[in-house]
Amino acid sequence: MGFIPLGETPSQETLLGAVGKFWTRTADLQRLAPASFREFDRAGYAKAAWNFALHEQSGGVTRLTTETRIYCTDPQSRRRFRLYWSVIGPFSAWIRRETLRILKERLER
């Protein structure tokens, strides 16, 4: 899906990233090396970082969480992303919930 691995703390967290114009039909995803992600600042793009983290709870329970962060490289891309997110946001939330549900089911087997 265009995400690149940005980092990992084994058995604790995985971080993925993507750079593109998510609001366009093709998304114009940029192929970047993980080391280039942080420095990317070309106008007209947004950077997305998505993590999965494990948190040990009491009673031998482990909680899996995910968080997505977006950085837009200029005001115009920020406006475009906000409009895009107003439509896509609820579907994206559903996808994240489904991903967590599926992972939970698989891990509990």
pTM of the model: 0.82
Domain limits, the chain: 4-108
Distance CA 81, CA 22 (A): 7
Q: How confident is the model at residue 48, as a pLDDT?
A: 96
pLDDT digits (tens, 9 = 90+) for 69-88: 999 999 999 999 999 999 99
Reported as a pLDDT band with limits 50, 70 and 90, residue 16 is very high
**Tokens for 8?**
């990992």
